[in-house]
């Protein structure tokens, strides 16, 4: 299978090139040249298949020209090491809990798949891959944990000193092995600038195979379609149509749901729910797409003013805006509404995190306007990850899951650097 750039369908590359490059040279996003539709007997059997078995079918359909059966199995097994349970929060409203992975957020799925696929691709090139990641928190922890111990890949994380929450920091500074954390004397933008400079430095790129594992990489994007299949297969349905509500920031997660739908999964509708960073809900209501500076909110992993996967969504609809707006309904919510939702759902015996709360609100509004649906919202993070916001909303202490508490025990190991490029370049040149 070839992958084309959303900026130029004639620019096509192999799977390994798309994975190693991440972004196309013309700044477009890679997309599979065709979307395979799974056979009816797969859908008929799906309810009896395990999560991993569903994964073999779906990933096989997309990657079987490029990977053999045992590689596909290895990839899926490495990714799906934890469950994604559906929990009924109210009648007909289900939470798809995507936070049972090592860093308690859905990005674990994409990061784990990406790390394994990169290590397979690098075996072909016989060169060690260096993944550079600038992080303001969440991405660093998912990528670091996803790549931990993966042969042939070293991860270098740059984070701004004193700007990341202590819990998030622990999730990528205590791991050791093939993960190195550089504590930059600066802000997040300085970290990002250093990474960009490294990719542009001719000398460095002659010596080292540098890549990024950010969310636009197809190896992080595609595997996110798996839990839509799995959730659909486990969802109790009595002839109702199915709607998925996705709390969205860069719009990769919802895009993967639309990919699943185009592979034949009979999802009837999507809800794109955002915080006040609402450029996509506004577009879906009929306005032109207009990127804006991001606004800080309590659901801060979705504080995105220029969603990077938007071209991917347009590509999925073949540029047909009407079809896009018909299939996806957009809603946005303020912090006050988000907090109220956390408070309103708690007495039902369920604790929402601020991101899941936005998804829940979108689903409720859609279902109030559209009868005849059973609905799923994606709970993208464990409430313990956003402890301060949730505890304040509820006026009570949360019990942290053991996995999170365990990170807090670890010893922080970092290499301090300044924000000048020469020092960072020197560090990279010193790697063997
Ligand atoms: C990254 C993130 C999102 C947004 O996902 P996109 O794929 O960027 O739309 C939502 N919730 C949480 C907890 C996240 O970490």
Q: Output the 3-class SS for 183-227.
A: EECCCHHHHHHHHHHHHHCHHHHHHCEEECCCCCCHHHHHHHHHH
**Ligand 1 centroid to 242 CA: how many Å?**
22
Q: What is the pLDDT of residue 410?
A: 86
The answer on 386 and 278 residing in a single domain is yes
Q: Are 388 and 352 in a shared domain? A: yes
Question: Does residue 29 lie in a domain region?
Answer: no
- 355 and 416 in a single domain? The answer is no
At 336 the pLDDT is: 98
Cβ burial of 43 (10 Å; 0-12, 13-18, 19+) is middle
Pocket test residue of 168, 377, 380 for ligand 1, highest count of atoms within 8 A of CB: 380
Tell me, what's the pLDDT at 270?
A: 98
| pLDDT for the residue numbered 373 | 98
From the CA of 378, how far away is ligand 1's center (Å)?
Answer: 10
In a domain? residue 201: yes
Residue nearest to atom 8 of ligand 1 (CA): 250
Q: Are residues 115 and 95 in the same domain?
A: no
Q: How far apart are CA 353 and CA 356, in angstroms?
A: 5
Q: What is the pLDDT of residue 67?
A: 96
- Report whether pLDDT(126) > 80: no
Identify which of 302, 365, 310 has the alpha carbon closest to the alpha carbon of residue 106. 302
Is residue 135's pLDDT more than 90? no
Assess whether 280 and 417 both reside in one domain: no
Q: What local confidence, expressed as pLDDT, does residue 395 receive? A: 96
- pLDDT band of residue 119 (cuts 50, 70, 90) is confident
Instruction: Give yes or no: residues 125 and 236 share one domain.
Output: no
Burial of 411 (0-12, 13-18, 19+ CB in 10 A): exposed
Dihedral (CA of 303, 99, 245, 335) sign: negative
List the alpha helices (DSSP H) in 6-130.
15-21, 40-45, 51-63, 69-79, 107-125
What share of the chain in percent tops pLDDT 70?
Answer: 100
Q: How many A from CA of 299 to the centre of ligand 1?
A: 9
pLDDT for the residue 178:
95
| Count of CB atoms situated within 10 Å of the CB of 82 | 18
For residues 99-104, give the mean pLDDT.
92
What is the structure's pLDDT at 409? Answer: 83
Question: pTM, whole model, 2 decimals?
Answer: 0.93
The pLDDT of residue 213 is above 90: no
For the CA of 256, the closest atom of ligand 1 is: 7
Q: Is residue 416 part of a domain?
A: yes
Q: Which numbered atom of ligand 1 lies nearest the CA of 138?
A: 15
Nearest-atom number in ligand 1 for the CA of 385 is 13
Pocket test for ligand 1, best of 95, 101, 106 (most atoms within 8 A of CB): 106
State which ligand 1 atom lies nearest to the alpha carbon of 252.
7
Residue 262 and residue 145 share a domain: no
Q: What is the average pLDDT across 151-160?
A: 92
- For residue 123, pLDDT over 80 is answered with no
Residue positions annotated with a catalytic role:
107
257 and 320 assigned to the same domain: yes
- Average pLDDT for residues 86-102, to the nearest whole number? 97
pLDDT digits (tens, 9 = 90+) for 332-371: 999 999 999 999 999 999 999 999 999 999 999 999 999 9
Ligand 1 center–CA 205 separation, angstroms? 31
Bridge partners of 183, per DSSP, are 159, 416
Question: Range with the lowest mean pLDDT among 4-8, 59-63, 282-286, 398-402?
Answer: 398-402
DSSP 67: S
- Is 302 in the same domain as 378? yes
Q: Whose CA is nearest to atom 2 of ligand 1?
A: 301
- Decide if 46 is inside a domain: no
Q: Whose CA is nearest to atom 15 of ligand 1?
A: 301
State residue 294's pLDDT score. 84
Atom 14, ligand 1: which residue's CA is nearest?
A: 301
- 415: β partners: 182
Same domain, 96 and 162: no
Cα 61 to the center of its chain, rounded Å: 21
| 248 CA: nearest ligand 1 atom | 9
- pLDDT higher than 90, residue 152: no
Whether 21 is covered by a domain: the verdict is no
Q: How many CB atoms lie within 10 A of CB 35?
A: 16
The residue whose CA is least distant from atom 1 of ligand 1 is: 301
| Distances, alpha carbon 396 to alpha carbons 28, 187, 387, 391, in Å | 46, 32, 10, 5
> Please, which pLDDT band fits residue 137 given cuts at 50, 70 and 90?
confident
Please give the order of strands across the beta sheet that includes 328-332. Answer: 86-90, 93-97, 373-379, 241-247, 269-274, 328-332
On whether residue 252 sits in a domain, the answer given is: yes
Can you give the pLDDT at residue 214? 79
Q: Mutation test of ligand 1: which of 253, 271, 357, 381 has the most ligand atoms closer than 8 Å to its C-beta?
A: 253
Domain, as residue range, for 101: 85-106+221-394
Residue 114 and residue 90 in one domain? no
| Residue 189 pLDDT grade (very low, low, confident, very high; cuts 50, 70, 90) | confident
Q: How far apart are CA 102 and CA 109, in angstroms?
A: 10
CB atoms inside a 10 Å sphere around CB 90: 15
pLDDT at residue 216, as a whole number: 87
Mean pLDDT over each residue of the chain, to the nearest integer: 94
Ligand 1 centroid–CA 324 distance in Å is 20
Do 228 and 373 sit in the same domain of this protein? yes
Say whether 166 sits in a helix, a strand or coil.
Answer: helix
| Residue of 406 and 46 predicted with greater confidence | 46
Place 427 in a pLDDT band, splitting at 50, 70 and 90.
very high
Q: Which atom of ligand 1 is nearest to the CA of 250?
A: 8
Pocket of ligand 1 (CB under 6 A): 105, 107, 138, 215, 247-253, 301-302, 355, 380-381
Total of domains in the chain: 2
Report the distance separating Cα 299 and Cα 291, nearest Å: 19
3-state secondary structure 122-152: HHHHCCCEEEEEECCCHHHHHHHHHHCCCCC
- Quick count: other Cβ atoms within 10 Å of Cβ 405? 12
Mean pLDDT for the stretch of residues 61-73: 97
Q: How far apart are CA 301 and CA 104, in angstroms?
A: 13
18-27, pLDDT tens digit by residue?
A: 998 888 888 8
Q: Cβ distance 420 to 193 under 8 Å?
A: no
pLDDT more than 90, % of the chain: 77
Q: What is the DSSP secondary structure assignment for residue 99, as one 8-state letter?
A: -
CATH number of the domain encompassing residue 180? 3.40.50.1100
Instruction: Compute, in angstroms, the gap from residue 25 CA to the centroid of ligand 1.
Output: 25
Neighbours of 7 (CB within 10 A): 13
Q: Give 21 Cα–ligand 1 centroid separation in angstroms.
A: 22
What single DSSP character describes residue 49? S
What is the pLDDT, as a whole number, of residue 136? 78
Question: Mean pLDDT throughout 203-207?
Answer: 92
């Amino acid at each position: 299978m070839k992958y084309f750039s959303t900026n130029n369908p004639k620019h096509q590359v192999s799977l390994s090139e798309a994975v190693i490059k991440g972004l196309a040279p013309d700044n477009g996003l890679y997309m599979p040249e065709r979307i395979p539709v799974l056979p009816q007997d797969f859908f008929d059997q799906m309810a009896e298949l395990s999560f991993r078995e569903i994964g073999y079918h779906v990933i096989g359909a997309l990657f079987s020209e490029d990977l053999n059966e045992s590689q596909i199995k290895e990839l899926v097994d490495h990714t799906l090491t934890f469950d994604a349970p559906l929990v009924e929060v109210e009648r007909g409203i289900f939470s798809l809990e995507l936070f049972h992975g090592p860093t308690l957020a859905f990005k674990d799925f994409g990061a784990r798949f990406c790390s394994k696929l990169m290590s397979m691709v690098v075996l072909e090139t016989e060169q060690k891959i260096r993944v550079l990641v600038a992080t303001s928190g969440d991405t660093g922890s998912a990528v670091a944990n996803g790549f931990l111990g993966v042969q042939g890949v070293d991860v270098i994380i740059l984070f701004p000193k004193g700007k990341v929450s202590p819990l998030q920091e622990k999730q990528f500074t205590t791991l050791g092995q093939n993960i190195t954390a550089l504590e930059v004397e600066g802000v997040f933008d300085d970290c990002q600038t250093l990474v960009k400079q490294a990719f542009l430095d001719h000398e460095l790129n002659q010596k080292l195979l540098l890549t990024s594992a950010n969310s636009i990489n197809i190896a992080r994007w595609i595997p996110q379609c798996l839990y839509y299949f799995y959730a659909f297969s486990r969802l109790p349905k009595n002839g109702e149509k199915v709607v998925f509500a996705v709390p969205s920031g860069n719009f990769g997660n919802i895009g993967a749901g639309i990919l699943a739908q185009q592979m034949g999964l009979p999802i009837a509708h999507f809800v794109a729910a955002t915080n006040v960073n609402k450029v996509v809900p506004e577009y879906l209501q009929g306005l032109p797409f207009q990127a804006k500076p991001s606004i800080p909110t309590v659901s801060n992993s979705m504080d995105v003013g220029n969603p990077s996967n938007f071209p991917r969504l347009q590509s999925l609809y073949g540029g047909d805006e009407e079809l896009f707006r018909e299939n996806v309904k957009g809603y946005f919510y303020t912090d006050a509404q988000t907090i109220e939702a956390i408070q309103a759902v708690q007495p039902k015996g369920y604790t929402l995190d601020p991101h899941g709360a936005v998804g829940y609100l979108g689903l409720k509004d859609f279902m109030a306007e559209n009868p005849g649906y059973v609905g799923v919202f994606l709970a993208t993070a464990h409430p313990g990850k956003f402890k301060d916001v949730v505890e304040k909303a509820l006026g009570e202490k949360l019990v942290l899951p053991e996995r999170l508490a365990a990170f807090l025990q670890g010893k922080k190991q970092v290499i301090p650097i300044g924000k000048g490029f020469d020092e960072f370049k020197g560090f990279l040149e010193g790697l063997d």
